[in-house]
Amino acid sequence: MQNDTIAAIATPQGVGGVGIIRVSGSDAFSLVAPLLRRPSREDIPPVPPTHQLTYRVIIDPATQEILDEVLVAFMRAPHTYTCEDVVEIQGHGGPLILRRILRSVLAQGARMANPGEFTLRAFLNGRLDLAQAEAVMDLIGSQTEVGQRLAMQQLRGKLSDQVEHARTSMLGAIARIEASIDFPEDDIPTPQAEELLPFIEEAQRQIARLLAGSEQGRLYRQGLRTAIIGRPNVGKSSLLNALLRIERAIVTPIAGTTRDTVEEIANLRGIPLHLIDTAGITPTQDPVEQLGVQRSRLAAETADVILHVFDGATALTEQDWQVAQELRAMGYGEKREGQAARRPVVVVINKADCEQVIDVAAIQSFWQDASLVQTSTLTGEGLEALENTLAELVQAGNVSGNESVLITSARHQEALRRGAEHLNAAILSLGQKVPLDFVSIDLRAAYDALGEVTGETASEDLLDRIFSEFCIGK
């Protein structure tokens, strides 16, 4: 499968200054070269020197019609993105032009690339390991500068290095055990627990260090889903806008949101804050409103944090309590012995610029564990306090310097946890003087679990799953 030549448009759909078609595989040069002409001549020019941008026109091979003026780079393996021969054709950035150029390349015998297939090839050819390949996607999708920095570190191989360190430590113990089992005639003494333990414990420490920041790391990548809930007219939409405005960072609207729930991304000290403004979650008879309520309820149910907004300038209403009850029924603000609420609620008492008539004590006695912030979307009062409260909830802003490596992926976290469990089992077995081959089974399992992070021991299913999430042309 790996030897065929693939092609795809590598730039986004839509209109742009330039658009790029990428071709990779052993026939990339010979497929593309016949499509090119010098602007002033009809003959097929020789392939230009490798990695050099060259001005050409490109033709439709069926009709000889000139499709576009292009800059083309022929890049000889192995110093390319995929480690294969690659040709990149830069045309004008119109969707029709690019599709026609691509069609010409396909007509020459290239195959349309699958999502992520260029990066898959870079992985299969050993240029990137799996964690690095995943970092490519994270980098493209990063929503804050911190997220981008973490992805870049992973792409540079910092995570892989640390995972490999832990594996090397394990290998120290594995090699000693296996040598004594495999070559008993060589008089290799059976290693003692004291000899093996330092290797295993070192690996354990390395994994623990990586796992320590992983919840945090995932937040930087996935963001915090924050639903803004409250009865109509308390100022939910105004609050959404205010929170977006105090952030001078990138704010991107999310496609596909409905009129009933609006989702925007603000930047909370590097964590993408997915703010969801909901229509309302109180029961209604109106069928149109019912739909909105359904969507809002779903948003509320899947949120990490709820901002329950009240209007400080009016007395509490039946509807305020209904909203509170609904949230409580979903498990928000539930107290747990000695711990923070699993699904925290932040009470926002809005319209602080007006005379306050709301019964704050009544709210506090209902939402006992919730932080309470008074805001005015009109004057901006309390918005920073609200931001601080959210940041404290998730301990945002703790990513220090450029040196920290944070696990940002659930997949990596899970593999490391599995590795740590096997190491614990190995240590337990050593203590119980279980035969060493059993210890070695657990050590191997831990070694393989960590190998899934870098892809050394990843199954084909896993690879398919990961790369299918990429975009076409990457």
Binding mask 309-348 toward ligand GDP (x if CB under 6 A, else -) reads ----------------------------------------
| Amino acid present at 161 | D
Shortest distance in whole angstroms from residue 367 CB to ligand GDP:
18
Cis previous bond, 232, omega within 30? no
Please give the Cα distance from 315 to 355 (Å, whole number): 11
Q: Which residues inside 230-289 make contact with ligand GDP, applying CB under 6 A? A: 230, 232-238
Six-digit token string for 258: 């409905």
Annotated binding site: 22, 88, 127, 233-238, 252-258, 277-280, 350-353, 474
- Helix (H, G, I), strand (E, B), or coil: what is residue 285? coil
- Which is closer to ligand GDP, CB of 153 or CB of 374? 374
For ligand GDP, give the closer residue by CB, 13 or 379. 379
Cβ distance to ligand GDP smaller for residue 223 or 235: 235
Helices 287-301 & 318-329 angle (0-180, nearest 10)? 50
The b-or-e profile of 330-346 (16+ CB within 10 A means b, else e) is bebbeeeeeeebebbbb
Instruction: Please state, in angstroms and rounded to a whole number, the distance separating the CA atoms of residues 253 and 187.
Output: 69
Where b means 16+ CB within 10 Å and e means fewer, 285-294 reads eeeeeeebbe
Q: List the binding residues for GTP.
A: 233-238, 252-258, 277-280, 350-353
Residue number with CB closer to ligand GDP (159 or 276):
276
DSSP string for residues in 108-165: TT-EEPPTTHHHHHHHHTTSS-HHHHHHHHHHHH--SHHHHHHHHHHHTTHHHHHHHH
Residues 220-239 that bind ligand GDP (CB under 6 A): 230, 232-238
Taking a C-beta distance cutoff of 8 angstroms, is the pair 239, 350 a contact?
yes
Separation of first and last alpha carbons in the chain: 18
Nearer of residues 149 and 236 to ligand GDP, judged by Cβ: 236
Q: How far is the CB of 231 from ligand GDP (least distance, A)?
A: 7
Q: Which residue numbers belong to the known binding site for K(+)?
A: 233, 252, 254, 257
Min separation Cβ 318 and ligand GDP, Å: 16
Least Å distance, CB 170 to ligand GDP, is: 55
- For residues 287 and 283, what is the distance between their CA atoms, to the nearest angstrom? 11
Residue 373 CB, nearest approach to ligand GDP (Å):
12
19 scored as a contact of ligand GDP (CB under 6 A): no
* 129: helix, strand or coil: coil
CB of 171 to ligand GDP, least distance (A): 59
CA–CA gap between residue 145 and residue 220 (Å, rounded): 10
Instruction: List, as residue ranges, the binding site for Mg(2+).
Output: 237, 258
Q: Interface residues for ligand GDP in 345-384 (CB under 6 A)? A: 350-351, 353-354, 376-378
Query: Tokens in use for 249?
Result: 């960072």
Q: Indicate the residue whose CB is closest to ligand GDP.
A: 235
Cβ atoms of residues 473 and 98 within 8 Å: no
CB of 234 to ligand GDP, least distance (A): 4
For ligand GDP, the binding residues (CB under 6 A) are: 230, 232-238, 350-351, 353-354, 376-378
